[in-house]
Amino acid sequence: MNFEHTITSEEQLRATLGYPSEIVTRKTINYIDEHCRSFIEKSPFITIATSDLEGNMDVSPKGDPAGFVKILDEKTLAIPDRPGNAKADTLSNIIKNPNIGLIFLIPGVRETLRINGEAKIVQDKWVLEQLTVDGKTPSFAIIVSVKEAFMHCAKCIIRSKLWQVDVAKQASVPSLAKVLVEHGKLEISVDELDGMIKNDEQTNLY
């Protein structure tokens, strides 16, 4: 597709957008303070952004009981890697490129917490034991060294009506099984794959 008006410089961007206020420029800190700690301890869901050396991006959702991301100290977080599909895009990217971005969400809370830093993958027993749930210890932990931490305003949540139950009930999407069969042109029925997915959800959470 061809576009006639493409922004290609910071000067063009700022000519329309303007510049952030002092409140915005001073909101970023480089450690976990009591406010960040409180938010992290209440959050059951995060998104993790990583990329490989070629700049190919990936954003992965992670969820667990609230407080599943452990604060090891004011500059260090530990995130469990639970059983998945073994594609391991996040882990593979971290090996190639340690830069990482996190967004923490709390159901019903309109603001979010954003953290940027560098990551590594570890298997230290003392870390993994802190991430145990239902007697199951993860094989890996993602360790994040915090470089930036800041609260994000509520406007995107307000606009999306993300936490409004009446809006959520209206959403209708095809099942994961149907999408996988059609995307992958799989020689398996939707019902059969749906059964496999539901079994995995019941038996392989941790």
Which pLDDT does position 172 carry in this prediction?
85
Which pLDDT does position 205 carry in this prediction?
87
- pLDDT digits over 158-177, tens only? 999 999 988 777 778 899 99
Sign of CA dihedral 154, 68, 73, 42: positive
Match domain 13-160 to its CATH number in 3.40.50.1370, 2.60.40.1760, 3.30.300.250, 2.30.110.10.
Answer: 2.30.110.10
Q: Where are the beta strands (DSSP E) in the chain?
A: 45-51, 57-63, 70-73, 76-81, 99-105, 112-122, 140-152
Which pLDDT does position 167 carry in this prediction?
76
Which pLDDT does position 60 carry in this prediction?
96
Indicate yes or no: pTM above 0.85: yes
Length of the chain: 206
Segments of the chain scoring below 50 in pLDDT: none
Residue 104, number of CB atoms within 10 A of its CB: 23
Which pLDDT does position 74 carry in this prediction?
98
Name the nearest CA neighbour of 101 among 49, 161, 37, 155. Answer: 49
CA–CA distances in Å: residue 3 to residues 9, 13, 118, 130, 135: 16, 16, 36, 51, 55
Give the separation between CA 109 and CA 113, rounded to whole angstroms. 11
Give the separation between CA 57 and CA 49, rounded to whole angstroms. 7
Name the nearest CA neighbour of 32 among 117, 99, 107. Answer: 117
Distance of alpha carbon 187 from the chain centroid: 32
Give the separation between CA 37 and CA 70, rounded to whole angstroms. 9
Number of helices (H) and strands (E), helices first, in the chain?
A: 9, 7
Which pLDDT does position 136 carry in this prediction?
94
Which pLDDT does position 32 carry in this prediction?
98
Which pLDDT does position 171 carry in this prediction?
75
